[in-house]
Amino acid sequence: MNAIEVIDISKNYGRVKALDSVSFTVGKGEVFGLIGPDGAGKTSMYRILCSLLLPESGNATVEGFDVVRQMGEIRKRVGYMPGKFSLYQDLTVEENLQFFSTLFGTTFEEGYDSIRAIYSQIERFKNRRAGALSGGMKQKLALSCALVHQPSVLFLDEPTTGVDPVSRKELWEMLSTLKERGITIVASTPYLDEVRRCERVAFLDHGRIRGIDTPEVILHTFKDIFNPPGIEHEKTTGAQEENVIEVEHLVKAFGTFHAVDDISFTVRKGEIFGFLGANGAGKTTAMHMLTGLNQPTSGTGRVMGYDIRTEYEQIKKHIGYMSQRFSLYEDLTVAENIRLFAGIYGMKNAEITRKTDELLERLQFTEHKHTLVASLPLGWKQKLAFSVSIFHEPGIVFLDEPTGGVDPATRRQFWELIYDAAERGITIFVTTHYMDEAEYCDRISIMVDGKIKAMDTPDALKRAFNQPDMDHVFTYLARQATRGDG
């Protein structure tokens, strides 16, 4: 028997056809992948199946109940983990669980046994606010909230975006135990190792199903999209002896907790430097000190020759920064965003106009000059955000998980932009949870429990730890963490 049946479902947003006569079935107890590039229609499909959105035409049932006529029955039986963090940031772990239990007409106590295996991993932090949790802990809490009413079908819309490789593996191990309990799971993900953990996958592109089969068949048939050829790139020859970042014994403490615990390193001019670590390892805290957003507790650091303690305003003028949360203004056009940020960096009008035209041509965005950023696909937004962050030709650009949730082909294009910037002499300081991207860096640092546990070229690290790839190196080191996600 099928748990889900979708027949000719269509959904329009104005003139945009988000879903165009989509049909597929999911067997009871199956782990089914719904995959495709940004803007393919995946989230619209999830929302229709969870009875949160009405289709234009077509029919769909979940556990035999119609998504339009029997919404109440469906909502009792489904759990939904949306792509954006859906919990209440200012409520504690326990308060979030109690709220979602009440929402589904049950109690936390009644649902406890069904989430015990997952919740027990974060229960010691039950009084911590959700907004203060690391990525891995947020993911476990969101999954617990989606399961507390004991649903028979679980919808997961890119649940591991922005989560480190070890936490991602843990989530999929949890999903395996849910499958053993007979729960039907529908998941979307940009990570190929997660796609391969599904029994079947449907490839959705521009609102249409282009294929449904086993992961291997789909990934092979559409390999240009899901597994584009690696970027041929010589390790940066532009890296020079001059250091643009110098850090010695840097510490950032919050009370007795040392988020960054005595780190020292240098980064050379023109280098692509990968700054890796599990969620909660201290990466973002360290980056905030280097970019002048936070002050160290002790230790010294210089960025572009400026002291991070006393000259942080000068640092901000000489760097570019792209945060993991999309940083452009969605209600401004492409050109208006470029002009706004260029103005903030003190560029002259004539230079802004000339360089804007050059940039739009290079990105092939010329015809979208007056398009609102909100209407661009995620991959386009991120390429634009990166280009804006280096528009003023800074000495260094800091990229905090710049490709989170982006499909492989778009990530490849993004890294071509990074290489182009490095060739122009801009130093790249990048954090990422994609271990194939780690292979593209000239050197890598891996943080564990606030300390730098290893630092070298990708090839040297693989040799030193006798591991076949950076994913295995990262997992080996991250599993040595003792302070957990806290």
The pLDDT of residue 486:
41
> Tens digit of pLDDT for each residue in 344-387?
888 888 999 999 999 999 888 888 899 998 888 777 888 899 99
Confirm if 209 and 202 have CB atoms less than 8 A apart: yes
CB atoms closer than 10 angstroms to residue 343: 12
SS3 266: strand
Dist CA 184 CA 61 (whole Å): 14
For CA atoms 383, 389, 394, 400, give the dihedral sign.
negative
Confidence of residue 307 (pLDDT cuts 50, 70, 90): very high
The pLDDT of residue 235:
56
DSSP 389-451: HTTT--SEEEEESTTTT--HHHHHHHHHHHHHHHHTT-EEEEE-S-HHHHTTSSEEEEEETTE
SS3 119: helix
> Tens digit of pLDDT for each residue in 168-224?
888 898 899 889 999 999 999 988 999 999 999 999 999 999 999 999 999 999 988
Dist CA 444 CA 241 (whole Å): 17
Dist CA 338 CA 332 (whole Å): 10
The pLDDT of residue 162:
73
**DSSP 3-state helix, strand, coil percentages of the chain (rounded to 5)?**
40, 25, 35
Degrees, nearest 5: CA angle 230-409-357: 105
SS3 278: coil
Choose between 146 and 326: higher pLDDT.
Answer: 146
C-alpha dist (Å) from residue 14 to 11, 187, 373? 10, 27, 17
> Tens digit of pLDDT for each residue in 326-344?
678 989 999 999 999 998 8
Burial of 8 (0-12, 13-18, 19+ CB in 10 A): middle
